[in-house]
């Protein structure tokens, strides 16, 4: 699509999609980035993209009582429900959010689960430091899709993370170093109507006959932190993140090193 910016230098894929796209389009771009590493077209890369409104749920959610009713209800409220192949819990998407998808090629035992999450938490921390914002990672009870590697500012979730590992089967690709592709994803809360999101998320759970648990005061947007908002603001911080991410991905080199120490920001 014409709004995509695709740069490839020295086997590094760098893709930025500044305008919100259909969630299926974003997930397809993410898959193509993963496939580029799986097939040997790239050794690493990243994708920055934004989605139109959607509620993304794991396939397991489709087996919950009332799922069909929940999907029908949320669709009617302007929040289409999309199923993903990976695990986790319901994750809202909004044009005010930025998705960061990062893929690297490495050996299966080269990086721990903790170390892999630190890769993406570290680059986001470096980006936030540009604005004088200190962050850490950890669990936030009451946050959507909670986990040990949320990016947290002032005790509130500002980004959620997930990852997927896939073994590379092509012997020729493996012969050049690395037998595994690692995809790490983050959804960053830059701007948007958070209270409306948590309301529709909890209504989804209620229709699925599950207890609602998401609490609005457990979350924070970058817009709230910086006192700015709107499309221009989201585009600006996305460009800043692209600059930080470009330099960060260039210095990562798993295929020529058995070990890689991530230096925390």
Strands 81-84 vs 54-58: parallel, antiparallel or unpaired: parallel
Strands 54-58 vs 91-93: parallel, antiparallel or unpaired: antiparallel
- Output the pLDDT for position 257: 52
Q: Which residues of 1-24 are buried (b: 16+ CB within 10 A; e: fewer)?
A: eeeeeeeeeebbbbbbbbebbebe
- Output the pLDDT for position 86: 67
Per-residue pLDDT of the chain (265 residues; tens, 9 = 90+): 334 444 455 589 999 999 999 999 999 999 999 999 999 999 999 999 999 999 999 888 889 999 999 999 999 999 999 988 666 789 999 999 999 999 999 998 888 999 999 999 999 999 999 999 999 999 999 999 999 999 999 999 999 999 999 999 989 999 888 999 999 999 999 999 999 999 999 999 999 999 999 998 999 999 999 999 999 999 999 999 999 999 999 988 776 654 444 444 4
Tokens of 106: 């490495």
Edge-first strand listing for the sheet containing 54-58: 81-84, 54-58, 91-93
Which run of H or E residues covers position 56? Answer: strand 54-58
Residues 6+ apart with CB under 8 A from 37: 43, 44, 45, 103, 104, 105, 168, 181
Residues 6+ apart with CB under 8 A from 236: none
pTM for the predicted model, two decimal places = 0.90
Q: Positive or negative CA dihedral for 156, 15, 21, 116? A: negative
Looking at the DSSP bridge assignments, the partners of residue 184 are 102, 163
Task: List alpha helices for the chain, DSSP H.
Answer: 23-38, 67-76, 113-129, 171-174, 194-207, 222-226, 231-251
What are the C-alpha distances in Å from 105 to residues 115, 216, 264?
14, 37, 21
End-to-end CA, the chain: 34
């Amino acid at each position: 699509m014409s709004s995509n910016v695709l740069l490839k230098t020295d086997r590094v894929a760098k893709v930025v999609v500044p305008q919100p796209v259909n969630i299926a389009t974003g997930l397809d771009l993410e898959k193509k980035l993963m496939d580029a590493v799986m097939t040997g077209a790239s050794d690493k890369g990243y994708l920055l993209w934004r989605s139109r409104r959607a509620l993304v749920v794991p396939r397991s959610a489709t087996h919950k009582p009332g799922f069909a009713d929940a999907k029908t209800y949320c669709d009617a409220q302007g929040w289409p429900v999309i199923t993903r192949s990976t695990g986790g819990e319901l994750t809202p998407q909004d044009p005010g959010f930025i998705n960061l998808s990062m893929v690297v090629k490495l050996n299966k035992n080269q990086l721990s689960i903790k170390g892999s999450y630190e890769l993406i938490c570290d680059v986001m921390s470096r980006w936030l430091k540009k604005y004088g914002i200190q962050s850490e990672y950890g669990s936030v009870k009451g946050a959507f899709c909670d986990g040990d590697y949320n990016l947290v500012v002032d005790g509130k979730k500002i980004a959620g993370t997930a990852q997927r590992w896939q073994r590379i089967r092509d012997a020729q690709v493996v012969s050049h170093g690395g037998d595994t592709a690692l995809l790490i994803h983050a959804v960053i809360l830059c701007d948007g109507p958070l209270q409306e999101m948590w309301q529709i998320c909890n209504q989804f759970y209620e229709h699925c006959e599950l207890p609602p648990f998401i609490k609005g005061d457990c979350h924070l947007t970058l817009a709230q932190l910086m006192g700015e908002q709107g499309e221009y603001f989201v585009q600006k911080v996305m460009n800043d993140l692209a600059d930080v991410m470009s330099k960060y991905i260039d210095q990562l080199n798993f295929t020529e090193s058995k070990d890689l120490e991530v230096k925390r920001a």
